[in-house]
Amino acid sequence: MNGGLTVQFLPDQGLSKLTRRHNFLYSGPFADHLNSDIPYVPQLTLVRTTTGQQAKTLYEELNSDILRSICASRPLICCGSTAVR
């Protein structure tokens, strides 16, 4: 989806496992698609939307006190052309 927005979770735990999987995929099957000029930041995309209002609403719902307590200290982020934390 070009021009879409995402709500992403930046995990506290499991970063080394995500990084190992990323390195495995981009040293093998997806080697031709690696953008080495973009640093890898382990994250999980939770939602992909087409409008800013959808992304904002979902971000606010997902970033409730309950979810934040489960996810520890790492924030959810809403990304489009610029990141909003």
The pLDDT, as a whole number, for residue 72 is 54
The pLDDT, as a whole number, for residue 12 is 74
Q: Which residues in the chain show pLDDT less than 50? A: 1-2, 81-85
Domain coordinates in residue numbering, the chain: 5-84
State the Cα–Cα distance between residues 10 and 43, nearest whole angstrom: 5
The pLDDT, as a whole number, for residue 85 is 42
The pLDDT, as a whole number, for residue 31 is 92
The pLDDT, as a whole number, for residue 82 is 43
The pLDDT, as a whole number, for residue 37 is 92
DSSP 2-68: TT-EEEEE--SS-HHHHHHHHHHHHHTTTGGG--TTS-----EEEEEESSHHHHHHHHHHHTSHHHH
Is the overall model pTM greater than 0.95, yes or no? no
